[in-house]
Amino acid sequence: MKPSIPKGTRDFSPVEMARRNYIFDTIRDVFRLYGYRQIETPSMENLSTLMGKYGEEGDKLLFKIQNSGDYFQGITDEELLSRNSLKLASKFCEKGLRYDLTVPFARFVVMHREELQFPFKRFQIQPVWRADRPQKGRYREFYQCDADVVGSDSLFYELELIQMIDTVFSRFGVRVAIKMNNRKILAGLAESVDQADRMTDITVAIDKLDKIGLDGVNAELLEKGLPQEAVDKLQPIIKLQGTNEEKLKVIETVLSGSETGLRGIEECRYILHKVSKTRLNNTLELDLTLARGLNYYTGAIFEVKALDVEIGSISGGGRYDNLTGIFGMPGVSGVGISFGADRIYDVLNQLNLYPEATVSGTKVLFLNMGEAEADFCMQVLSDLRNAGISAELYPDAAKMKKQMSYANALGVRYVAIVGGDELATGKVTLKDMESGEQQLLTSEELISALR
């Protein structure tokens, strides 16, 4: 029998793990630096918590866990023979695997509301599962890295999240464009042309300007049912260009009649003004074509693009005003961002941005030249480990060639050799595998050399 793993899942080798840990550790450090506190939730949630939260398509993509014991209980013969997969799923299964970190977080806040102090700043780094069709770069098990604040509608947190995004990618050494939109502006625009229910259509059409040109966009808007008058009024928006402030002025004119829209303008101005006073390494750009999570976000919307690699968005988020409402706790405003670890992994790989120390594990391998020599090595190994230096000994006195090829395969930088001569003097020969240089050292000298 030849073993395999389920499609869409992955094994991670030591080198891949070292790189992934570098990504997770960096993001976690930044989250902590800004005062976000870690939580974890169970991999399984009750299906009643998950169902209906991700649309009809989402319900199908949930991994459902079969009930233990007699899972046929309570199902009639007729129901069984109906073979209605979707309907019977909730009878066969009470639990499902987490689909994202947002719904479990909302459930967490509602369940623990009495113990929490608001505003509650939390971060969470855990895998999620989706029964999506696996394809290049899309997996059935993958990590999300989320930071959210709930219980405050202060725009200060939009600013804080923008700073966090900037700090994370500065640490990675990746140049990015941070793009910002505002759901209230989009709603205001749709309102201003008397097409309040066409917000998404308008946004999606405008987003195609680069691909299909101005005439194409106008044609699509008419096709979607917008009257010519509305399309005419939207012309300045479709052709929107210039600095953030120039864009805001144009938008302001078009949606001047919409209270909601003007509030969106005001929010953007406030955030841009505050951001201008901080020392951001990356640019923040107003981009009306961001249509991320429109049936979900209520204020600011963020998306981050890498400048030097062709890849989709590598981070995103926004403001939502009613996350916990679905669980019976209305009126809790929140704002959050999510980092896509798998895409960041690809970006760092392509730009070769991993610090050298990330990948190397063991610092020094002691060769094994026989029992007495190995005994002596064990003492030195203890000293090294007490000094925090990762070190190991080859397990038996195999041929030198075999031991050296093991050292090479592990990618250790240093090899330590204790033969008869070294044993007599109580010293160790340290060989730098890169330069080929050798030194005869005492235990203490060895520690300083390896530090």
For its own copies, the closer CB: 142 or 302: 142
Q: Which residues contact 391 (CB under 8 A, 6 or more apart)?
A: 362, 363, 364, 365, 366, 381, 384, 385, 416
Provide the minimum distance between the beta carbon of 351 and its own copies in the complex, in angstroms, as a whole number.
23
Provide the minimum distance between the beta carbon of 439 and its own copies in the complex, in angstroms, as a whole number.
22
CA 128 – CA 43 distance, rounded (Å): 8
Residue with token string 């899942």: 9
Provide the minimum distance between the beta carbon of 272 and its own copies in the complex, in angstroms, as a whole number.
14
Provide the minimum distance between the beta carbon of 309 and its own copies in the complex, in angstroms, as a whole number.
25
For its own copies, the closer CB: 107 or 427: 107
In single-letter form, the type of residue at position 291 comes to A
335 forms bridges with which residues in the sheet? 149, 319
For its own copies, the closer CB: 60 or 249: 60
- CB contact burial 273-298 (16+ within 10 A = b; e otherwise): ebbeeeebebebebbbbbbbbbeebb
For its own copies, the closer CB: 116 or 196: 116
The CA distances from residue 344 to 162, 173, 301, 341, in Å, are: 17, 11, 20, 5
For its own copies, the closer CB: 259 or 396: 396
Provide the minimum distance between the beta carbon of 194 and its own copies in the complex, in angstroms, as a whole number.
36
The answer to whether the beta carbons of residues 117 and 37 sit under 8 Å apart is: no
For its own copies, the closer CB: 256 or 278: 278
For its own copies, the closer CB: 251 or 348: 348
Provide the minimum distance between the beta carbon of 253 and its own copies in the complex, in angstroms, as a whole number.
28
Helix or strand holding residue 142 (H, E): strand 141-150
Provide the minimum distance between the beta carbon of 82 and its own copies in the complex, in angstroms, as a whole number.
9
Residue with token string 């003097």: 425
Instruction: Record the tokens describing residue 324, joined without a space.
Output: 């916990």
The CA distances from residue 417 to 24, 209, 392, 429, in Å, are: 36, 66, 12, 5
